[in-house]
Chains A and B, each alone.
Chain A
Amino acid sequence: MVPPKSQRLLIATLAIAALISAFSGRIDAYLLDVALGAGISIVLASSLNLINGFTGQFSLGHAGFMAVGAYASAMLTTTLAPKLMGQTELLQWVVFPLSLVAGGLLSALVGVAVGAPSLRLKGDYLAIVTLGFGEIIKVILQNLDAVGGARGLTGIHTHTSLFWVFGSAAVTVYVVWSLLNSTFGRGFVAVADDEVAAEAMGLNSTHYKITAFVVGSFFAGVAGGLYAHLKGYLNPSGFSFDKSIEIVVMVILGGMGRHSGVIVAAVLLTALTEVLRSFGNYRMIVYSVLLIILMLTRPQGLFIWPLKKRKST
C-alpha cells in the first residue's frame, strides 16, 4: 500500500514544477541550464540507486542505458514524428513525452537483455559485465550510420523544459520510493542485505534483481531522452565510462540506498561541476580524489539520515 501522503507530495511537486516552468522565460538562462542538468542527474542517480543502493547490484553501465533512451527518443521526435504528422504544436506536448516513455521502454528492454544473463554474477564480475555492455552499446552507436555514427546526432528539437525535467524527477523518485515501500519491494533490500537468507525465505532473488535493473534502466532511458532534447546534440562518446562513474559517485556520495541523500548528492555534484568549470581539467581530479577519500573515511556516504528500518553492515 502506498500511503496517500506520498501521492500528494508527487502531485504537489508536479504542480510546482509546472508553475515554475511557466515563468522559466524569466529565469537566467545559465541558471536554468544548471537546474535542468541537476534535475536529469536526480533521475539518473535515483534510478541507479534502486540497482546499486537498494538491491546491492553494482552496475557500471548506466550511461549505456541512458544512451539507448537518448537516441531512441531523439530519433522519434526528429525523424519519425515529423514524417507522420508534420511540424505541429503537438510535437512538444504529445510526441515528446511519448518519446521519453518509448526511449525508457526500449532502454528497459535492453535492460532485460543485459540483466537476465548477467545478474547471475556478483560484485566485481557484474560491474565488469555491465561496463562491457555499456561499451558495446557505445561501439554499436558509433557504427550505426542511421543515428549519425561517430559524428553524432544533430538537429534534435530542444523540448526539455523545467516541467518535464522535474516532473520526471518527481515521478522517478516516487516510483522508486513506493516500489521499495510496497510489500513486494521489501525484497529488494532483503536481496541486498543477504541474498542467501532472502532465497531461504522464499524470495526469488533473480526476479528482484532483474526488476530493479529494468526499472532502473527505464528511468535511465527517460533521463537520456530529456538530455537529448536539452542539448539538441548527441554523441556516443558522451555516454562513456566516465558518465557512468559520475552517476555512481552521486549514489555513493548520497549514501547507497538513501532517497534524499542521493537527490542532494545529485544536485550538489551538478552544482560542483559548475563551480569547478573555471578549473577545467581539474574537475575529474577532484572527483576521483573525492571518491577515494570518501571510500577511505565514509564508505556509508556523506549524508547520514537516522535509519529506521535498515541497519547497515
Chain B
Amino acid sequence: MTEFLQQLLNGISLGAIYALIALGYTMVYGVLRFINFAHSDVFMIGSYVGWFALQRFQFQQPSFLGGITVLTLDMAVCALLGVLIEKLAYKPLRNRSTLTVLITAIGVSLLIQNLAQNQKFGFGPNPKAFPPLFPSKQLQFGDLTLSTNQLAVPIVTLGLLAILYWIVHCTRTGTAMRALSFNATAASLVGINNDRIISFTFALGSSLAGAGGVLYAMNYPSIDPLMGTMPGLKAFVAAVLGGIGNLPGAALGGVLIGLVETFVSGTRLSTFRDAIAFAILIAILLFRPAGLLGKLKVEKV
C-alpha cells in the first residue's frame, strides 16, 4: 500500500511535467494544425536556462523566492525562444502543406539539439548536474516518505494551469486564441490579428515547456542536450491521448501517461517503459482517434 502511494505520487509528479509540455503541443496544434517538433527542445533549453540562472545567481541556500524567480525568468526566456522559432521558421510557411511545416519543425528540432550538443556554440554533450531549486525537506507520513520537491511539481503545475485557464477563458487575447483555433478565416474577418495571436500562443506554450524543463531537472537533476526528446514525445502522446487541441485533455493525458509509466517502471517490464507510451498512442489512435476528451470531426469533401 505504501509503495502504491509512493508510486502514485511519483507518477503524478512526472505526469504534471508531461502535462505542462503537452499543453504547448495542444495549443500550437489548435491554432496551426501541426506538430511543433521543436517543442521538446524548448523544454530542454528551459532546463539549461534554469541551470545557468542558478549558476549565475549563486544562491547560498536554495530559497523559495529564488526558485520562483528562476522559474519566472526561465519561462520568459523560453517564451522568447518560442516566438523566435515561430517567426523565423514557421511564419514563412503559412498556407504551405502540412508536410512541409512538419519537416521544417523536425529540422528546427535537430538544429537546436545539435547546436546544444556542440562544445563551441552550445552546452557540450556531457550531462550537467542541476543544483537544487527549492529548499527541500523529507516529510514522513507513517511509512510514506515525501520530498517537498515532489510536491512542488504538482503545486506549481496547478498554479500555472490556473493562470493558463484565466488567460484562455477570461482575457481578450485568450478569446481570440479560441476563436482562431475554431476558425482561422472567420477570426481574421472579425478583426483578430492572426499572426499576433499565433506568436502569443507560441510564447504561452513555450513558457510552459520552460517551466516543465526546470521542474523536470529539479526531480531528475542531470541535464543533457538530448533530454527533451523522450519527455517531448511522451508529452505529445499525452496530448493525443487527451484529445489534441483540447487543454484539459492535455493535462489529463499528461497525468495518465505519467502514472502508467511510473507503475510500469515498478514492474518487471521496466526496460520497456519507453515503448509503453507509444503503445498507448497507437491504441488510442486506433480505437479513439479523437482522444479521451476530444470530439471527432467529420471530414467534409
Residues of A that sit less than 8 Å from B by CB: 58, 117-118, 120-121, 123-125, 127-129, 131-133, 135-136, 139-140, 142-143, 196, 241-242, 245, 248, 252, 281-282, 284-285, 287-289, 291-292, 295-296, 299
Contact = CB atoms under 8 A, between A and B. Distances in A.
Given A121-B285, A128-B35, A129-B282, A291 B104 contact: yes
16 contacts: A118-B286, A123-B102, A128-B236, A135-B278, A139-B271, A143-B272, A252-B103, A281-B118, A284-B114, A285-B114, A285-B118, A288-B107, A288-B114, A289-B107, A295-B107, A296-B89
Interface in B101-120: 102-104, 106-111, 113-115, 117-119
A124 B102 contact: yes
A281 B119 contact: yes
Q: Which 5 residue pairs across A and B have the least CB separation, nearest first?
A: A132-B278, A291-B107, A288-B110, A288-B111, A292-B107
- The A interface, classified by DSSP as helix, strand, loop or mixed, is helix
Interface of B: 34-35, 89, 92-93, 96-100, 102-104, 106-111, 113-115, 117-119, 125, 229, 233, 236-237, 240, 271-272, 274-275, 277-279, 281-282, 285-286, 289, 301
B259 to A, nearest CB: 19
A117 B282 contact: yes
B119 to A, nearest CB: 7
A139 B108 contact: no
Given A288-B110, A296-B93, A135 B103 contact: no
A112 to B, nearest CB: 15
A127 B98 CA distance: 11
B274 A135 contact: yes
A117 B283 CA distance: 9
Contacts of B278: 132-133, 135-136
A2 to B, nearest CB: 30
B61 to A, nearest CB: 38
B262 to A, nearest CB: 17
A143 B276 CA distance: 14
A118 B274 contact: no
Contacts of A127: 35, 102
A284 B114 CA distance: 6
Contacts of B282: 117-118, 129, 132-133
Nearest to A196: B301
Nearest to B101: A295
Contacts, number: 106
Nearest to A143: B271
A125 B102 CA distance: 11
- The B interface, classified by DSSP as helix, strand, loop or mixed, is helix
A225 to B, nearest CB: 24
A118 B301 CA distance: 22
A292 B89 contact: yes
B101 to A, nearest CB: 8
A143 B109 CA distance: 28
A124 B101 CA distance: 10
A287 to B, nearest CB: 7
A304 to B, nearest CB: 16
Nearest to B119: A281
A117 B125 CA distance: 38
Nearest to B236: A128
Given A285-B115, A287-B110, A291-B104, A123 B285 contact: no
Contacts of B277: 132
Contacts of B233: 131-132, 135
Contact of A296 (B104, B114, B274, B279): B104
B38 to A, nearest CB: 10
A31 B97 CA distance: 40
Given A129-B282, A288-B110, A136 B275 contact: yes
Nearest to B29: A124
Given A118-B282, A124-B35, A139 B111 contact: no
Nearest to A131: B233
Given A129-B285, A284-B114, A291-B107, A140 B100 contact: no
Contact of A139 (B93, B97, B114, B274): B274
Nearest to B100: A299
Contacts of A252: 103
A295 B93 contact: yes
Contacts of B92: 296
